[in-house]
Amino acid sequence: EAHYKQACELAEPIMKELKNGAASGSGASRSGRSGTSGSSPAVSTSALHAALPATMGLMHYGLAQMHLQRGDQKGASVQLEKALVCHPYGVKNVHTMLGHVQSSLGKYTRAIEHLRESLRDVSGESRVALLESLGEISALSGDYPAAEETYAAAVDANTSNAH
């Protein structure tokens, strides 16, 4: 965990600089020079800009998993939200994980939003499982008509998978 935190601390100022447009997109290295510096090649700001969000997203995702292993749902939620901010489409199951974490924290509206977002990219048994989770969370939140509708959609999806 210490390595992840250290990497995040080192990368966040670079991310801010890139997001604020302080680094030029000219292909020059971060120090403003182009070409090579010593024996290592220069990294273009466009390459950094492309790679850092994914790297930061994966770091936050890793931290979230560590929080989950410790039973720290709130810490996991914070890290998963950061992963989405850094790289919204980088890790497929972030929305699913966030949905389940938010549900365990009693934040049913947010949980439903994240699970619905997850539904966009899944089919088959995964879709059925997500629909079942959505139905359960809708029932927990007191929205019984939505729960009934979602459970019916899960049954339909399961039936269509069987054929």
Residue whose C-alpha is closest to residue 6's, from 62, 44, 48: 62
Domain boundary among 43, 72, 101: 72
Range of the domain at 13: 1-72
**How many domains does the chain fold into?**
2
Q: Choose between 77 and 41: higher pLDDT.
A: 77
pLDDT in tens, 10-59: 667 666 665 665 444 444 444 443 444 444 445 556 665 566 677 788 88
Residues 5 and 65 in one domain: yes
* 86 part of a folded domain: no
Angle at 87 between CA 16 and CA 18, to 5 degrees: 20
Mean pLDDT of the chain: 78
Interatomic CA distance for residues 156 and 122, integer angstroms:
15
Q: What is the pLDDT of residue 74?
A: 96
Percent composition of the chain: helix, strand, coil (DSSP 3-state, to 5): 70, 0, 25
